[in-house]
Structure 1
Amino acid sequence: MTTPASLSALVVIPARMASTRLPDKPLALIAGKPMIAHVIDRGMAAEIGPVVVACDHPDIKAAVEAAGGTAVMTDPDLPSGSDRVRAAAEAVDPQRAYDIVLNLQGDVPLIDPEAIRAAFDPLSDPAVDIGTIATEIRSEDGRTDPSFVKTVGTPIGERRLRALYFTRATAPTGPGPLYQHIGLYAYRRAALDRFVSLPPSSLEKRESLEQLRALEAGMRIDVGLIDSVPMDVNTPRDLEAVRAIFASRVSNPS
């Protein structure tokens, strides 16, 4: 399905200073720029709408503005990234000119802009409340690893699933591909409003997966399938790996 040219989104990047495994993560330098600046670049390259950072610390705001970006301070006591995304959207777009809000995580400096668009594209169907992405799990360890969140869905197009469930277990069983869910979401504005107003659901609490809250509430989530595996940065080791990738791109630009 082709996304109409008139469809656009407000891209919001939640960024928090608190990280137990990698302190001051948004400000970690990669190729001379803070990580958050690289993520802004990726969001802009997706070309689906303006990009704003929802942050909880003036140092992040200063780094974003130094990079030419827009930042909004949000309440550090908000319970989740989704709440921070909604708060930032309300602050920068109170007139609701944008019907879609895309939550782009602030620790994916290598994400392919095509992956961002793949989460956005399902909302060209007015029946879809939330768009997200997944990629095929190609390692045997990944099929059984509970840290690989599996998307269980029914195919509705060449590279599209309608989500039926998300789980840390190996599912579905039997032969065939398994898909790893990537936590990037494009919400219709009304769906985001509803989502953050709902209490955590029973399956959400059992699986520790907030997207199950939306499914249990009857919202429709469609999944764009991508080939890449976006790497998130959670530890000093992850950071060094990403720095090495950027360095190799500079030394081998082709």
Structure 2
Amino acid sequence: MGAAVAACAVSAGARVLWCPSGRSAATVRRAEQAGLEPVAELRELFHRAEVMLSLCPPAAAEDVARDVAQHGFTGIYVEGNAISPDRVQCIADLVGRSARAVVDGSVIGSPPVGAKHTRLFLSGPADATELVTELFSGTPVSTPVLGEEIGQASALKVSYTAYQKASRVLAALAYGVAQHHGVDRALLEVAGGRQGSYLAETGYIAKTAARAWRWAPELEEAADTLRAAGLPDEVMRAVADTLRHWTDAKDDQGISVEDALEMLRGSSR
């Protein structure tokens, strides 16, 4: 996602910097394909950049923010990760000690490659969100602004994640039960009569398994947000625990539906 979003900013005329130090060969290849400009050290990147966009696994969000804060970054920091509004506020307090402004962001949609589009929702100071919007003007990345409150963009992401990803896991479990009892075809026939039912998309079970290592932390963020809002969080935590049964399927594009279901069955014995 990071390289694809960065490539859109490049296509709009921005110079996009990145630091290849300690990164994998695959990451380097994606950055080169996206037209990003390498810099030797993070210190140089933080000194030269006017806008910093953080897109990383949720667990690493604070680590990235601490690096930014330690280098005294003075530009606009966009916290674009799938984390709770409370965590975004903590990061804003940390980075905001030196940064000109902190913008809360959330990416919803597929990576903007080919004919695909995505949305980078924003909330924060108006002058800062306007500048971020300009960076992606005319590209497949649209930048709806939700308001000036830090946490609004993240709340939208968490709300969407709570439903969309949990529904995929519930569909996998439902199909697994039906298959166990030999009624999977009947389930698909019933589900096929309902427009947009995830139950009819069995191929997505394998995709969910391959993405589970990323989705589980996001649903923990959703659970934290539910608890902060005074709502029950047990369902989200249970779904996150279920996703962890697929940890060994990380980014496995060749995993089958049956293999994914067998991993769930095996983990419950």
TM-score (norm 2): 0.30
Q: 1 or 2, which has the higher strand percentage? A: 1
Provide TM-score, normalisation by structure 1: 0.31
Higher helix content, 1 or 2: 2
- Computing the radius of gyration from Cα coordinates, the structure with the larger value is 2
Pick 1 or 2: higher relative contact order, CA cutoff 8 A, min separation 6: 1
